[in-house]
Amino acid sequence: MNDLALEPVPAIQHQFTFLTNYAHVLLLIANDPSILMRELASQIGITERAVQRIVDDLTTAGYLVVTKDGRRNRYQVVMDSPLRHELERHCNVGDLVGCVFPRS
């Protein structure tokens, strides 16, 4: 018989966030409508190409309006758009933005 005591196996901690990358993009744009895709990617921790796809999806779905401002894009979040999941449909984008970036 082995005299070695069994060491407890440490629990594996899974990394997760409660909001999706889509929410992160939307929230950061709501906070800074002239933010660059490069800055979004850096702050969220995803690629610029992933940010481009998310912005395209959000624009197509009517959650963002993109306008040209010289060589840069300027974004406008459509705050009264309803959240998409059935559990949150009673809330709108402005409610979410207000939770993360409350205006005083």
Distances (CA, A) of 55 to 9, 27, 44, 71, 75: 42, 12, 13, 17, 10
The pLDDT value recorded for residue 62 is 97
Q: pLDDT, tens digit, for every residue of 33-57?
A: 999 999 999 999 999 999 999 999 9
DSSP symbols for 67-91? EEETTEEEEEE-TTPBPSSTTTTTS
The CATH number given to 21-97 is: 1.10.10.10
> pTM of the predicted model, to two decimals?
0.84
Task: Report, as ranges of residue numbers, the positions in the chain whose pLDDT lies below 50.
Answer: none
The pLDDT value recorded for residue 96 is 96
Pairing between strand 64-69 and 72-77?
Answer: antiparallel
CA-based torsion, 23, 28, 32, 36: positive or negative: negative
The pLDDT value recorded for residue 100 is 95
Q: How far apart are CA 32 and CA 50, in angstroms?
A: 19
